[in-house]
Amino acid sequence: MSTTPPVLAAELAHAWADIQRHHPELPDLAAPESLIGESSSACGSELSFERLLHEAVHGIAAARGVRDTSRAGRYHNRRFLAIAEELGLEHAEDPHPSSGFSLVTMTPETRRRYRPTSERLQRALKAHVAATETDTARSFRGPAARHGSSGGGVRVKAVCECGRNVRVVPSVLAQAPIVCGACKKPFQIAEAMTVAASS
C-alpha cells in the first residue's frame, strides 16, 4: 500500500506522463512513493521536477539497456550525460570525482517547456512539506510509531564492507544489525561510515 499522499502521487504521475509525452520510450512510473524520501548525494536529495527528469534519464537508460552509472550507482558516466542532454539537461562543469555527471540542471528551453507542469508539481510538494512539518509531539501517528515499527519512513542507503548497499529505514537498522550475505559484515548508514572514516 502506498504511503504517498494521493494528491502528491497524482502530481508525480502527471509530471512523469508529461515527460513521457516528449520522450515516449520512458517506462511508466511504477511507484511514485519511490521518489519521495529517496535521497542520494549523487543526484540530490530534494525532490523537484529537475530531479524527476534526472530519474527519467535513468529510466530511459534502463529501457535501452544502457549502463549509465558505476561504483554502485554513484558515478554517473558520459552515457548518462548523453541521455540527460536528450532530455534537456546539462552539466556545465567537469565531472565530479565521485558522482560524475550526476548534478545536471535544466536548460532554459527545458524550463520553458515544462514550466506549467513544474509549477504544478512544486505546489504539491510545498503542500506535502507543510503537512509533514506540522507534525508535533501531540499528533497521532498511529500504531507503527507506538510500537517502534518503521511506519514506512524515509529510507537511507546503508552499505557493507564489500560495497553492496540497501535502502533501509534507520529505525529498522537500529533494532538489530542487517548482515550482508556476501561479506558477512553489517550494513551501516553511508553517512555514518563517512564520518567515522574521517575521524
Q: Give the pLDDT confidence score for residue 192 in this predicted structure.
A: 46
Beta strands in 46-193 (DSSP E): 69-70, 75-76, 89-90, 105-106, 156-159, 165-168, 188-189
Cα Rg of the chain (Å, integer): 18
What is the residue whose three cell numbers read 564492507? 161
Q: Give the pLDDT confidence score for residue 163 in this predicted structure.
A: 83
| Backbone dihedral region for residue 100 (phi beyond 0: left; psi -120 to 50: alpha; all else: beta) | left
Q: Is residue 1 part of a domain?
A: no
The whole domain housing 22 covers 6-138
CB 167 within 8 A of CB 157: yes
What is the residue whose three cell numbers read 562543469? 93
Q: Is residue 174 part of a domain?
A: yes
Q: Is residue 47 part of a domain?
A: yes
Residues 166 and 73 in one domain: no
Q: Give the pLDDT confidence score for residue 116 in this predicted structure.
A: 95
Give dist(CA 174, CA 172) in Å, integer: 5
Q: Is residue 144 part of a domain?
A: no
Q: At what angle do helices 49-64 and 78-86 cross, to 10 degrees?
A: 110
Residues 75 and 128 in one domain: yes
Residues 87 and 167 in one domain: no
Q: Is residue 169 part of a domain?
A: yes
- Digit-by-digit pLDDT tens for the chain (199 residues) are 344 567 788 888 899 999 999 999 999 987 776 666 544 444 444 678 898 999 999 999 999 999 999 988 889 999 999 999 999 999 978 888 888 999 899 999 999 999 999 999 988 888 877 776 655 555 544 444 433 444 445 667 888 888 888 887 776 667 677 888 888 888 887 654 444 444 4
Q: Give the pLDDT confidence score for residue 75 in this predicted structure.
A: 92
Residues 89 and 121 in one domain: yes
Q: Give the pLDDT confidence score for residue 132 in this predicted structure.
A: 66
Residues 121 and 83 in one domain: yes
Q: Give the pLDDT confidence score for residue 7 in this predicted structure.
A: 78
Q: Give the pLDDT confidence score for residue 83 in this predicted structure.
A: 96
Q: Give the pLDDT confidence score for residue 168 in this predicted structure.
A: 74
| Number of separate domains in the chain | 2
Looking at residue 25, the DSSP 8-state letter turns out to be: T
All cell numbers assigned to 7: 494528491
